[in-house]
Structure 1
Amino acid sequence: MFNFVQNIENLDFPETLEKLAKMAGIEIKQYSGNSTFKTIEDINYLATQYYYNELKKDKTASKYVQDRGFTKESIKTFGIGYAPRRPQLLKFLGRHAKYSKTFLLQSGLFVEKEGVVKEKFYDRIMFPIRSKRGKVIGFTGRIMPGNDWGPKYMNSPETPVFHKKDNLFGQYEARQEIRKLDIAIVCEGSTDVISAYQHGVKNIVAPLGTSLTTEQLESIKGLTNNVLFFFDSDTAGKAALVRAFKLASELKMNPYAANASPYKDIDEMLQKEHDKFVKLTEERIEAFSFILKDFITDKDINKLSEMEETRKLANSLLESVKDPITKNHYIDKLSRIANIEFQKENERKDSRANSEGQLIQFPVKFGTSSFEGVYISLLLISPQVDISKVADEVFFTSETNKKVLKLIKESKGVLSREELSRLISQDEELKNIYEDLIFNADKIITEKVPLEDQLVLCENKLKKLFFEKKQNEIRTKIALAEEVEDAVNSEKLLVELLEINKILKELK
């Protein structure tokens, strides 16, 4: 039962233990642990209350936060507050407990000058940093307009409970959504996290004013193996993406990439083009392709010097990729995109191969749209298309691909390649997209297997992706049903899950 709940809901050990104890009506006594940790956590908790209440009192700070677009709900959810120009945090803490100078300094909220303990943060908007368990372990302070002292953003120093390299802003708030969606979005700053959260994107986190670390990615890996890096499009952002790709690849994660161009950051994009942000997260691009495409955009790879620059970048990226199958996939991309050849470590054997060779060279790490594109390409180059055998659009996620299938199915009988081409060409949007698919079709097919058989194989793969998504959706619903102790619905969903598992087994 313990393992079942842990695996179905993707919980860690303590969370699973707490959930099962709650379901059984058992109270678990919390171990107080290290008294220093507990005292500092208490100080941070009280400081969060103080800053939160001070924000309500200060009209200038409240207006600034509102002008930044933060809603009352977000302010409450993230515990956003304000450290006033003349902070009284020390007095506030004194009304609750008598904390020693040692604990006050260890909290990171105070400094000692000439023997006097003073507040570290003043005239700053305060963002509490929570641990994965929800405890406030530190703060990020954003300078107010007119305050010229110190950096724009100031984080708590290293303390017994807070280590920047191990933590991410939003990690507690995002953990459930990351599990549910099976992907984490990593952006550059806390304000981007909050803005995204307000727009319904809740699987998002950010490093704490420093470069992304291996420890932070390991924390994400405990929730999902998929990570979308959404950094700025400036030089620093591009360098950060390359570094993030290498760290993620060394951990055998699946890195994807996007940026807010032409906007300065995620916050601005969400304000002006929310749908574009959603599209970038849903139709995400592999980070390897994203980096390579950006690098060679202004390069003439026919020149030996620029070809060598591209090769050096590619080699540095490939060196970090520990999974041999993924590395071979990237090497294939290099050959196709930049005509740069690298020796593969191991020639992978496709389970669909027969004695004459492989059937289809599908990408190993793919988004749903990759197989959809392959299927549409195969349709477009087929001598004849039997409408009755065309895949159901329910297995497709791209609205454009669904539009093509619907257009095809409105016809009757059998369409020749010429008829299909004329049909697609009537729609200017579809024409531009699928001309490119036809142009690249020779890279995804083999003459050793009939096109009709390749279509069947590709359709089966799309079905597998569809039912795997259904499988994840049902698992999420089971977790929700158990959360509200809806045993009837939970059992019903388990039956559906078993049926989906059966279908997937047959598709394999």
Structure 2
Amino acid sequence: MIKANTVREILETARVDDVVGDFVNLRRRGTNLIGLCPFHNEKSPSFNVNPGRNIYKCFGCGRGGDAVNFLMEHEHLSFPESLRWLANKYGIEIEEVELSNEQLAEQQLADSLFIVNQFACDYYQEQLLNSDRGRSVGLSYFKGRGFREETIRKFGLGYAPMGRDLFLQAATRAGHKPDILEKAGLIKTDRDFFRDRVMFTIRNLSGKVVGFGGRILQKDVKAPKYINTPETEVYNKSRILFGAFHAKQAIRREDECILTEGYTDVISLHQAGIENVVASSGTSLTVDQIRIIKRYTPNVKVLFDGDKAGIRAALRGIDLLLEQDLNVKIVLLPDGEDPDSYLQKMGLTVFKDYLQEKAEDFIFFKANLLLADAGNDPVKRTALIKDIVGSIALIPDPIKRSLYVKECARLFGVEEQLLVAEVNKIIATSLKKHQQQEAARGNFPSEPPPGWEEPQAEMGLLPQAAPTAMGDEYQERDLVRLLVLYGQELFDQSAEQTVAQFIMSNIDDVIDNFDNIVYQRTTKECQVLLERGEKPSVQYFMQHEAPELRQLAIDLATSPYEFSENWEKKWEVVLNQKMPDENFIKDSAHGLKRFRLRKLTRICEENIAKVKELSAQDELEEMMLYLRLQQRLQELRNELAKELGTVVF
């Protein structure tokens, strides 16, 4: 493990413009550098590198971060691997900290499992290509599928011999210990786990062999058609997508992921030139698998054969795609065909045209599928409408939801407002349940549930958490911006008070009343840092373990706009306003006042509502107390407004 001081030295030394410049052609524009984004196809450069802040941000696809983030995204390195890459580039000697016995054992076990899995991959392929039965049974099967030898080698296809312990004997002769082989799921006590099966190698995103899928070929044997490696320290099938290692670059290039059901579908399509294709690894689609896809693209095309029972079983997995804010299209293949067979029968050109022409939006595909079953039965139609509305409610994007509601109302022949009300009810229930779960755990959500950030729409969709039209998030965001970007700077030279100390000392009693959960969590993080004697900084938040805090720091530290030095020259205008980085002291004072004004305005609004309520109930004595409170609140509000030069009503 790399020592903390070495990590700190690497992070402080690495220059994002220097690192990115090794991979992207950058040119200067003002104080920043721009180039074509390496993460998505574009003709006009939207990829910005800010040397001053030592970060990058693409305003086209949204990716951003520091030098480490860039290497992890672009080169698909782990955090430690990125640090070693940077240490090598800048000639920094890496100091390792001694691992505990437990940590060392865990690391050694993972390394050992990777080693024996790679040995197994090589062994099974050797058996496939060079043993008599491997060639007659296994190789003939793969050749019958149309797989070329280079494809067989690329995907690590193989054959497990039918003897009781032939693999175990070979592995033992090669020096591998039986207990490690068993922990890798390759043997079971004294016999091989895979016997007389063609083998599909399963790799993680880094390309390391983590497990296998084995298919039996004999039809008269009472055994499962497919078996997979059991769960191990390095193989969790719910977190693995078959083919993702080979597909990830193509998925990013095509900005689309094709999702199929089987190993052979992935391999056939890849061999034919359709490389952006993956399959779930012997399991129903999971959230972890979806998040892998989301790293590379928001667009998913799911291929189904004509089996209606199988389609219905897969609908839940598709709902998970919607919940993760992916754009989902469905392609239904002709009856009796799967992607592999249809490609073999029709050829690449016809197959690609079919995928393009027959792709249907998932919501409408599901609606039409269920409508066909429901017919004119009102009970069944009611159930299917609720089912579709449940899927729509999962979609985080409010605009997308609105459009689906409108189209489904037309499709079902029901009033739009009825569907809106049903969507709102589901979102509200989900939000309440989510909040209760988080409250029970005593922590903040790592990401909000669907719909929590819903803006007020004309058609009546559920409003955002902020109860007023203006909302308080603008003021909250401004304070968070000052905390993250300038928190470590001195606000008061004489008192040696930092910007973070100044702001937090004035808002520590109202943090729990923040409307935006991410802004609230950021301010609480600043509070903890100050209590530890540390200072918040943009670098700290950009290395934070929570992805929403990392993204917020990137967004706050970057802007697609910058002040032009040519303005004064061209128009002979004297610019007296300081640049933002020079104006943080004044901004902090004004930002805090604006925040207080907005909170006071809200309290006034809530107080006057209470006055009206008491008046309607003839509670005159209590109402007079609230009126006197209202008078004092308005005096404070007006004083603040006068200081800011703001008119309030």
Q: Report the identity percentage.
A: 31
| Shift of residue 73, structure 1, vs aligned partner | 1.9
* Corresponding residue of 2:372: 297
* Corresponding residue of 1:202: 275
Distance 2:222 2:336 in 1: 28
CA pair 153-290 structure 1, distance change in 2 beyond 3 A: same
| Shift of residue 278, structure 1, vs aligned partner | 1.1
SS at match of 2:261: coil
**2:198 maps to amino acid:** I
* Corresponding residue of 1:126: 199
| Shift of residue 347, structure 1, vs aligned partner | 6.4
Distance 1:202 1:323 in 2: 29
CA pair 138-217 structure 1, distance change in 2 beyond 3 A: same
Say whether residues 1:108 and 2:182 are aligned partners.
no
Say whether residues 1:331 and 2:394 are aligned partners.
no
Q: Contact (CA 8 Å) 1:227, 1:255: kept in 2 or not?
A: yes
Distance 2:366 2:88 in 1: 48
* Corresponding residue of 1:152: 225
| Shift of residue 199, structure 1, vs aligned partner | 1.5
Paired residue for 1:79, among 156, 166, 171? 156
Paired residue for 2:293, among 196, 199, 220? 220
Q: How does 1:353-502 map to 2 (within 5 A)?
A: none
Distance 1:29 1:204 in 2: 39
Distance 2:71 2:122 in 1: 29
| Shift of residue 233, structure 1, vs aligned partner | 2.6
Q: Contact (CA 8 Å) 2:250, 2:276: kept in 1 or not?
A: yes
| Higher mean C-alpha displacement, 165-174 vs 6-15 | 6-15
Larger Rg: 2
Paired residue for 1:176, among 229, 249, 260? 249
| Shift of residue 149, structure 1, vs aligned partner | 4.2
Distance 2:393 2:243 in 1: 31
CA pair 28-74 structure 1, distance change in 2 beyond 3 A: farther
SS at match of 2:288: helix
Paired residue for 2:360, among 282, 285, 288? 285
CA pair 132-8 structure 1, distance change in 2 beyond 3 A: same
CA pair 252-278 structure 1, distance change in 2 beyond 3 A: same
Say whether residues 1:97 and 2:163 are aligned partners.
no
| Shift of residue 235, structure 1, vs aligned partner | 3.0
Paired residue for 1:66, among 121, 140, 143? 143
Gaps of 5+ in 1: 351-508
Say whether residues 1:9 and 2:39 are aligned partners.
yes
Distance 2:349 2:186 in 1: 40
* Corresponding residue of 1:357: none
CA pair 249-29 structure 1, distance change in 2 beyond 3 A: farther
Distance 1:275 1:138 in 2: 34
Q: How does 1:254-333 map to 2 (within 5 A)?
A: 254-273=327-346, 274-283=348-357, 284-301=359-376, 303-333=377-407
* Corresponding residue of 2:563: none
SS at match of 2:375: coil
SS at match of 1:333: helix
Q: Contact (CA 8 Å) 1:188, 1:232: kept in 2 or not?
A: no
Q: Contact (CA 8 Å) 1:228, 1:256: kept in 2 or not?
A: yes
| Higher mean C-alpha displacement, 315-324 vs 134-143 | 315-324
SS at match of 1:321: coil
Cα distance per residue 1:98-119 (max 9 Å; x no partner)? 42x321210101001xxxx211
| Higher mean C-alpha displacement, 25-34 vs 65-74 | 25-34
Number of residue equivalences: 344
SS at match of 2:159: strand
Gaps of 5+ in 2: 1-16, 25-36, 41-69, 97-103, 425-454, 460-649
Cα distance per residue 1:170-217 (max 9 Å; x no partner)? 111111111111111111110111111122111111112221111110
CA pair 127-257 structure 1, distance change in 2 beyond 3 A: same
Q: Contact (CA 8 Å) 1:231, 1:241: kept in 2 or not?
A: no
Q: Contact (CA 8 Å) 1:228, 1:255: kept in 2 or not?
A: yes
Distance 1:349 1:98 in 2: 67
Superposed CA RMSD in Å reads 3.0
Distance 1:326 1:85 in 2: 54
Distance 1:27 1:66 in 2: 51
Q: Contact (CA 8 Å) 1:258, 1:290: kept in 2 or not?
A: no
Distance 2:340 2:90 in 1: 44
| Shift of residue 12, structure 1, vs aligned partner | 6.0
Q: Contact (CA 8 Å) 2:299, 2:328: kept in 1 or not?
A: yes
SS at match of 1:9: coil
**2:39 maps to amino acid:** E
Distance 2:120 2:93 in 1: 27
* Corresponding residue of 1:396: none
SS at match of 2:232: coil
| Shift of residue 150, structure 1, vs aligned partner | 2.0
SS at match of 2:368: helix
**1:296 maps to amino acid:** L
Q: Contact (CA 8 Å) 1:185, 1:227: kept in 2 or not?
A: yes
Q: Contact (CA 8 Å) 2:116, 2:176: kept in 1 or not?
A: no
Q: Contact (CA 8 Å) 1:193, 1:204: kept in 2 or not?
A: yes
**2:135 maps to amino acid:** K
Distance 1:185 1:12 in 2: 26
* Corresponding residue of 1:243: 316
**1:90 maps to amino acid:** L
SS at match of 2:241: coil
CA pair 214-331 structure 1, distance change in 2 beyond 3 A: same
Cα distance per residue 1:12-34 (max 9 Å; x no partner)? 61726679769969899999981
| Shift of residue 271, structure 1, vs aligned partner | 1.1
Distance 1:186 1:267 in 2: 13
| Shift of residue 295, structure 1, vs aligned partner | 2.0
Say whether residues 1:231 and 2:307 are aligned partners.
no
**2:166 maps to amino acid:** Q
| More RCO (CA 8 Å, sep 6+) | 1
| Shift of residue 62, structure 1, vs aligned partner | 1.6
**1:69 maps to amino acid:** G
Distance 1:30 1:9 in 2: 33
Q: Contact (CA 8 Å) 1:245, 1:288: kept in 2 or not?
A: no
Cα distance per residue 1:338-369 (max 9 Å; x no partner)? 2233127666589xxxxxxxxxxxxxxxxxxx
Distance 2:303 2:90 in 1: 43
* Corresponding residue of 1:44: 117
| Higher mean C-alpha displacement, 291-300 vs 266-275 | 291-300
SS at match of 1:34: helix
CA pair 29-151 structure 1, distance change in 2 beyond 3 A: farther
Distance 1:200 1:321 in 2: 32
* Corresponding residue of 2:28: none
Q: Contact (CA 8 Å) 2:307, 2:335: kept in 1 or not?
A: no
| Shift of residue 50, structure 1, vs aligned partner | 0.3
